[in-house]
Structure 1
């Protein structure tokens, strides 16, 4: 098909100003009549780029499944001829490139339109072809005028793998005639759905964290352009009218008045078109601007007018679906609505280009001279383990946040993230990493690094806590002053291979400290290579060298039958850049000799994951991604109904991702497997499945407190006036906040994490302490909280279990009440999960 399509491009290729091919004249259907396969979407964009002197097309990356990520740049031929100068001038205005801006280019606005980041919200990608045609069409007098002072960037499919999954399924399962009945098969997409990418991540929550390949490649292009307006075109439930800006409360407090006010102007422009057409719409509800990793907020924190547009439809709508008011919503309708708001966005950008670009310049001038936030300098100690520092620098670079290395010192009052203590006496030393708020991306840096975020007392759409020092487990501080410390460019010190040039004939053992994910990845690589490794169950010393519990110990004695043992150690040490020490004796100073029971063999765990219907696609994807990409360790995936196959397959570890599946009927198989020595790791609300089964001691606080008291409370609630219902809901609400967890550092599940772990708690489920087991991580009285948690929800979390282990026969269940792999960005949680895999035995 690809060869035929390219041949068709050559046949249809016309001169630059000739008649353009309409989408319906190229596709096997009219736009809105059916869903377009992704390869034809790509072909249409390539065709228009061939035909039009207004369009330049590039492939800026590839997905996990090899599909192209496209970006079309649309403007007048004159602007395209000086496109690089326009782009660079815009970056100069933002202070992101040196040199003086060219005043002649200052009023050219840049608009970025993103379509269908959720693949099964496919009307966006369908509409993008019409938008491209309208903008490129020389016979369209409106777009011809707009493009004189506007550059438009179109990404037709932010999630090609998800879009392809949905559109292929729909075309294979829909009936020939339209079937608008909501209960029909074509309106009920199967697991995992096209919303998510290959690894089942929600790419709309990944803008700041950039865990996924699509996000990483897109952000490179975004940072090269830095548009003044970014519109993210989505779909919502099919019964909802169209939503566009202005956004709902809460707004993050660093969003400027200009940004919020101009959203109103854009919304009014859209409303004019919808009013004339008689289309329903709503604004200022549901979709807020707080969480920084959305397609509206991340651009907003980069100086743009960032907005979400939501068309009713989603995967349920298909080509046509019946509405409660007796009308029928069609794909034609959905495409028309998105096409209208996209073009309206370009229109107002052109009309107000002078104001847009001037306020854009002012935004970045203020960022570098008068940052908004309370904290003006963030300090990461230079003693941070190499793996953690490397991950932090990678995140900063991906977000374009500047940083430097302290070349001098400072002593004064600083906020201590680990102690959650303001005005503590702290110090900056040479070698520390400094992030100053006096930089172009000041707002983004402050949003990501502030220890807390102000959330007005209202229901928000997403989590309210995400501070990077807490998520990454960093020894970090923040200053309310602009520290006058001499600085220099920061670079991760060149790794010095501890084995280079050394004669290892007398090496008795190799020791690697357990500090972060790089330690776990090294251990995973060791066992995958057939190397026998042990982990220390207690602190120990050899001479003057001290090692903490969890340290990896690789002895020559355990590997005497492995002929290439030394070469494997050399290779893996270099690949993973770990902190490795050589021991020439097994006789310790403290903590036990290397032959003692204090050092337990890791083995080579064989891991299974449950995935399929009723398992949460996002949360399953987080586990899948962790093993294949973060840890680079092999796993097998089974349907929830196939626990018998797991037991028959001699698996050592079974991971239960979050979901609403039931394990009833599988109790005997699961119990027998556990008693024979299996390890079960339950994450998040998967624990609810276990708490309802006999033989597991995990119980919610409500179960333990008794049903009578619960019933009495429920009766009282029923008698309360309706008028205060929203306030009562907020009191018991936890949209997602960071909560301090007390850790038992003597237990393997806590190794490498310290006495306090900051957990991202995304719900109000509360479990009582285990009667028979280890309560390794627990929330105590009046815990530190970053983000919003309602008063009742906070009280319910006190004295509850977060991480625990229950022995069952020769096996064990590891209860991870909070998901340590949430969205793939909670770096400290990745080490905790590695403890569950390799340390707890």
Structure 2
């Protein structure tokens, strides 16, 4: 990182500067008069760290666009000198580090303040400089006393790439003076906006899944510290008053009374300051504590008092914007409000440090000795494909969840995730076993329980996320604490995918099609010029049985044009964790010899993705990230308005992410492109743009009359206004997992089987295709995990989820549910790989 000028260091060293320079005197602008560039934000934190003995600055990572991610540790000079001892002592108190804790350090509270995880909610990052200035003001005796027993960890910008996208755009298009009219250009942020990171992922939905590089690097530090209080500092619509804790219902059932009650204490402390200033605020509305991958819930399930703070503003507000009450909301106002709640949080943590630390220790003692939930042990079959097991273990490691390998067997009554039923099951040696009797018991149970209990169905996000369903695992949950002698798994080291097999004069190499590692291996091999075939059904060579979809790389296809193909397969499979079997003959036992028509060559696809105005930026980012980071396979991005140019090119696949597309006048050209051999893939709401068009066979479902029949004795026009929200939720699906029946004979099911658990995030429904393959469908009375309104539950029965329509030599693939949603639904990544390469 950059250091401050030598002359400045000299002046500081001789004591000419008694106080830290305020950001308004350090930056090229007064704080709140303009947006601060990210590099200037970092500059200020570096300057303060060099100048103040109260601060230690650490760069903990880099973003996709190579911007620094930094943490500032702020406390008394004495605490800064013993920072590592405080950190380790806190982990000992939580049972995450061996040894006895030091009583002298037990009551040091740790407060983590996270600013602007959404980049265009920029007032948080701006306020972080004001907060740092106040915390390092040695003339403020009250603040000095707080820091004697409190360590404040500040992350000034959780999303530097999004923050830079927004502030750079605003600086380019705004004038010398703020235009406060809401309709002005500077209040109309263009697509994709600065909310998300480089890959347009919402980082505030990624805390548990850690698909993004920012989350992965940050959580390394979070696990090292395990704060007692975590405040996630956001912005919301500019007309809203300030929101702070306590949170709204629903609370997850595993949130303790202590955590809920202390949120209220913190909220009352904030209210005291806001009341004195006459600032409007609200609590206990809108922002609930259920979905586990937010900054507030993730911290809560890790023993902290986790909270969201929301200031009115966001990307609409700019430097100033007119409010409906005739006032003007200024950037300086937003900064002042965030600075106030930040300082108030530090204050109450300091004053209540004894209670915070005592209850923190109790939380983890209880977690390790008497878990809250019904299930005490979770079991994942040891026969899980290596690539899938590797990804599961990576997720567990990133979250600090303890697990082991069973060394003995035990039978009992268990819940089976795949069937959704309780019955006899057996733990076998080699199975992966997760005990709920561990420090992170609550997080473990939240992520692994088959379904969350939703106390209030008017919720802010999805209501089901169970890892065994997301990963398509053969897994079980036991209410009994199983004693199967769990031993540590071997450390992950690169494995030779050939094992002890000798390639010699190999006739062919076979890679089973089992999980995302198989998809990524295929993508990288075809990109490298290796000719690969895929099997259209199960096949056997000797005693070796391979599933449909398996990849076959033959000597005949590659020896002349790619003589190093064996080494390419070895390197690629090793990197992905995929296994490779060697065949010395093309003569099969079942399924067809390698020279017959059951093994079609795979093409090196040229793929285009539509992205721009009208396209859901998150959905676009999920597709883009999948190709670049999961498959390492190139795609071209086109604006939707350039579809005509795209159709005139030589692309094999066009992907339409969730969004609204204007196809009037383009349908004929689009159909012609498909008929000539193109593959069109529509995800989510993109299907609405195709539904009803003449050449497309997709039709929205008409709800049967009996399903919508109302009580004729009730005149709905006279129902009370107060119950409108409750009546609405009967048709609502905020996000639930629904069991989908796959056609097991069709390539969409390869590597998955006859059942797929789909994360359904909307209530739109479509009829089965009259002409086409209804490859994935919701049948009558499906298994559902999470909340779905009663009318919505009726409507999704006997509907299409995944369908394929043949048009000439090409296809239209209708993916009503987005299998790449938020990048954590592992089984969906396999399904999308089938769409790309297995469906021919």
What's the TM-score, normalizing by structure 1? Answer: 0.97
2:483 corresponds to 1:484:
yes
- Deviations, residues 279-331 of structure 1 (Å, cap 9, x unaligned): 00000000000000000000000000000000000010001101111111100
Change (3 A) 1:108 1:330: same
Which residue is equivalent to 1:533? Answer: 532
Which residue is equivalent to 1:834? Answer: 833
2:171 corresponds to 1:171:
yes
Give 1:181-580 correspondences, 5 Å limit: 181-422=181-422, 424-491=423-490, 497=496, 499=498, 504-562=503-561, 563-580=563-580
2:78 corresponds to 1:72:
no
Deviation at 1:747, TM superposition (A): 0.3
Which residue is equivalent to 1:794? Answer: 793
Separation (CA, whole Å) in 2 of partners of 1:496 and 1:147: 49
Separation (CA, whole Å) in 1 of partners of 2:722 and 2:271: 32
Native 8 Å contact 1:735 1:788 kept in 2: yes
- Deviations, residues 244-273 of structure 1 (Å, cap 9, x unaligned): 000000000000000000000000000000
Change (3 A) 1:280 1:408: same
Separation (CA, whole Å) in 2 of partners of 1:458 and 1:527: 46
Change (3 A) 1:206 1:501: closer
Q: Which runs of 5+ in 1 are unaligned?
A: none
2:25 corresponds to 1:25:
yes
Change (3 A) 1:709 1:471: closer
Give 1:708-719 correspondences, 5 Å limit: 718=717
Native 8 Å contact 2:497 2:577 kept in 1: no
Q: SS of 1:138's equivalent?
A: coil
Deviation at 1:498, TM superposition (A): 5.2
Which residue is equivalent to 2:53? Answer: 53
2:39 corresponds to 1:39:
yes
Q: SS of 1:104's equivalent?
A: helix
- Deviations, residues 123-146 of structure 1 (Å, cap 9, x unaligned): 000000000000011011221110
Which residue is equivalent to 1:155? Answer: 155
Separation (CA, whole Å) in 1 of partners of 2:781 and 2:212: 36
Deviation at 1:574, TM superposition (A): 3.0
Change (3 A) 1:110 1:448: same
- Deviations, residues 552-581 of structure 1 (Å, cap 9, x unaligned): 111222224223233323333333332211
Q: SS of 2:818's equivalent?
A: coil
Deviation at 1:720, TM superposition (A): 4.6
Native 8 Å contact 1:655 1:682 kept in 2: yes
Deviation at 1:544, TM superposition (A): 1.9
Q: SS of 2:148's equivalent?
A: helix
Change (3 A) 1:6 1:677: farther
Which one is further off, 499-508 or 680-689?
Answer: 499-508
Q: SS of 2:295's equivalent?
A: coil
Which residue is equivalent to 2:596? Answer: 596
Deviation at 1:718, TM superposition (A): 4.7
Native 8 Å contact 1:664 1:693 kept in 2: no
Deviation at 1:31, TM superposition (A): 1.1
Which one is further off, 247-256 or 167-176?
Answer: 167-176
Which residue is equivalent to 2:770? Answer: 771
Separation (CA, whole Å) in 1 of partners of 2:664 and 2:709: 25
Native 8 Å contact 1:509 1:585 kept in 2: yes
Change (3 A) 1:658 1:363: same
Change (3 A) 1:500 1:349: closer
Q: SS of 2:530's equivalent?
A: coil
Native 8 Å contact 1:647 1:669 kept in 2: yes
- Deviations, residues 201-240 of structure 1 (Å, cap 9, x unaligned): 0000000000000001110111111110000000000000
Change (3 A) 1:33 1:579: same
Which residue is equivalent to 1:737? Answer: 736
Native 8 Å contact 1:320 1:331 kept in 2: yes
Which one is further off, 587-596 or 475-484?
Answer: 587-596
Deviation at 1:705, TM superposition (A): 6.2
Which one is further off, 333-342 or 643-652?
Answer: 643-652
Which residue is equivalent to 2:105? Answer: 105
Which residue is equivalent to 1:91? Answer: 91
Separation (CA, whole Å) in 1 of partners of 2:47 and 2:408: 58
RMSD, aligned CA: 2.0
Which one is further off, 10-19 or 610-619?
Answer: 10-19
- Deviations, residues 347-393 of structure 1 (Å, cap 9, x unaligned): 00001000000000100010011000000000011111000100000
Deviation at 1:10, TM superposition (A): 4.5
Change (3 A) 1:680 1:336: same
**Count of paired positions:** 837
Change (3 A) 1:681 1:466: same
Separation (CA, whole Å) in 1 of partners of 2:711 and 2:644: 42
Separation (CA, whole Å) in 2 of partners of 1:34 and 1:573: 51
Q: SS of 1:197's equivalent?
A: coil
Deviation at 1:807, TM superposition (A): 0.5
Change (3 A) 1:675 1:446: same
Which one is further off, 817-826 or 648-657?
Answer: 648-657
Separation (CA, whole Å) in 1 of partners of 2:723 and 2:300: 34
Which one is further off, 170-179 or 557-566?
Answer: 557-566
Structure 1 runs (4+) deviating above 4 angstroms are 2-17, 492-496, 500-503, 704-713, 715-721
Change (3 A) 1:494 1:276: closer
- Deviations, residues 791-821 of structure 1 (Å, cap 9, x unaligned): 1010000000001100011100111110100
Change (3 A) 1:61 1:691: same
Which residue is equivalent to 2:650? Answer: 650
Which one is further off, 170-179 or 792-801?
Answer: 170-179
Native 8 Å contact 1:15 1:51 kept in 2: no
Q: SS of 2:641's equivalent?
A: coil
Q: SS of 2:425's equivalent?
A: strand
Separation (CA, whole Å) in 2 of partners of 1:635 and 1:20: 49
Deviation at 1:672, TM superposition (A): 1.1
Native 8 Å contact 2:497 2:570 kept in 1: no
Separation (CA, whole Å) in 2 of partners of 1:167 and 1:35: 6
Native 8 Å contact 1:749 1:839 kept in 2: yes
Separation (CA, whole Å) in 2 of partners of 1:711 and 1:14: 79
Native 8 Å contact 2:616 2:657 kept in 1: yes
Native 8 Å contact 2:4 2:46 kept in 1: no
- Deviations, residues 611-663 of structure 1 (Å, cap 9, x unaligned): 11111111100000000000111110000011122223201011111112322
Native 8 Å contact 1:18 1:51 kept in 2: no
Q: SS of 1:56's equivalent?
A: strand
Separation (CA, whole Å) in 2 of partners of 1:13 and 1:642: 58
Change (3 A) 1:325 1:383: same
Native 8 Å contact 1:622 1:824 kept in 2: yes
Q: Which runs of 5+ in 2 are unaligned?
A: none
Separation (CA, whole Å) in 2 of partners of 1:15 and 1:700: 76
Change (3 A) 1:11 1:763: farther
Separation (CA, whole Å) in 1 of partners of 2:608 and 2:125: 36
- Deviations, residues 390-433 of structure 1 (Å, cap 9, x unaligned): 000000010000011111110111110011112x1001111111
Separation (CA, whole Å) in 2 of partners of 1:10 and 1:745: 70
Deviation at 1:721, TM superposition (A): 4.6
Native 8 Å contact 1:14 1:50 kept in 2: no
Change (3 A) 1:375 1:502: closer
Change (3 A) 1:5 1:705: farther
Q: SS of 1:814's equivalent?
A: strand
Native 8 Å contact 2:501 2:582 kept in 1: no
